[in-house]
Amino acid sequence: MQALIVIDVQNDFCPGGALAVPQGDTIVQGINALMPDFDAVILTQDWHPAGHSSFASSHEGAEAYSVTKMPYGDQVLWPDHCIQGSMGAKFHTELHRDRADLIMRKGYNPAIDSYSAFFENDHETPTGLEGYLRTRGIDHLVMVGLALDFCVNFSAVDAANLGFEVEVRQALTRAIDLDGSLAAAVLGMRAAGVTLV
Ligand code: VGL
Ligand code: ZN
């Protein structure tokens, strides 16, 4: 059984959004076109409370895109984005959200960011997605969405480490590319056994 996992195709990650990924909106039609080919379609939605600890604005004097130490490790500090219920947190208007079996929200814990759809950034607090997929008999995942070097990367590596067969369709992703994050992500995904197509 195969699932399409669509990562964070939300307004704030598209041009004009708070954490815009260059050309983030150009992948939407291609993702829509893929959906009918899968046994399950799952959308993830970055979903932060106001004042989230991953926001630079929550850290006195910190600049957006700087890195800070959190109890669970290094954390990039982002512009405020994907605040629960905001326009920026909504899916891109053209994304076929009605085809989704499951919408998996993440990043709702005020103290821990969650790039991955499987674990929060402490790498141990589960989101529940693994159990959902396993109980549905899904073993093969195709991942697309935003951003390739953050949420797609962390989701793909976690899924591969959990034993899923994982393929990332690179043409249906776009990257932020912060200080070499894209090259590091590609190496990390390959090392974890993710197939990059
Ligand atoms: C993401 C940074 C912060 C992503 C989410 O979806 O890649 N990146 N929150
Ligand atoms: Zn976020």
Per-residue pLDDT tens over the stretch 118-166: 999 999 999 999 999 999 999 999 999 999 999 999 999 999 999 999 9
pLDDT at 115: 97
- The two structure tokens encoding residue 30: 């291609």
Q: Is the CB of 46 under 6 A from ligand 1?
A: yes
Q: How far is the CA of 40 from the centre of ligand 2 (A)?
A: 24
* pTM beyond 0.85: yes
Q: How far is the CA of 188 from the centre of ligand 1 (A)?
A: 17
pLDDT at 188: 98
Q: 53 near 22, Cβ under 8 Å?
A: no
Among all residues, which ones are annotated catalytic? 8, 106, 151
Q: How far is the CA of 94 from the centre of ligand 1 (A)?
A: 20
pLDDT in tens, 105-119: 999 999 999 999 999
Ligand 1 probe mutation, 115, 179, 181, most atoms within 8 A of CB? 115
Q: Is the CB of 150 under 6 A from ligand 1?
A: yes
> Which residues partner with 5 through β-bridges?
42, 143
Q: How far is the CA of 19 from the centre of ligand 1 (A)?
A: 8
Cα distance between residue 23 and residue 27, in whole Å: 8
The proportion of the chain whose per-residue pLDDT surpasses 90, expressed as a percent, equals 100
pLDDT at 58: 97
Q: Which amino acid is at 125?
A: T
pLDDT at 118: 98
pLDDT at 164: 98
pLDDT band at 92 (very low <50, low <70, confident <90, very high): very high
The protein residue whose alpha carbon is closest to atom 1 in ligand 1 is: 151
pLDDT at 18: 98
pLDDT at 47: 98
Strand order in the sheet with 40-46: 102-106, 40-46, 2-7, 140-146, 165-174, 195-196
Q: Please give the mean pLDDT across all residues of the chain.
A: 97
pLDDT at 65: 96
pLDDT at 184: 98
pLDDT at 49: 98
pLDDT at 100: 98
192: helix, strand or coil: helix
pLDDT at 106: 97
Q: Which of 42, 43, 12 is nearest to 25 (CA)?
A: 12
> Closest ligand 1 atom, CA of 145?
6
Ligand 1 probe mutation, 150, 158, 176, most atoms within 8 A of CB? 150
The shares of helix, strand and coil residues in the chain, as percent rounded to the nearest 5, are: 30, 25, 45
Ligand 1 probe mutation, 5, 7, 14, 19, most atoms within 8 A of CB? 19
pLDDT band at 186 (very low <50, low <70, confident <90, very high): very high
pLDDT at 93: 98
Mean pLDDT over 73-90 rounds to: 97
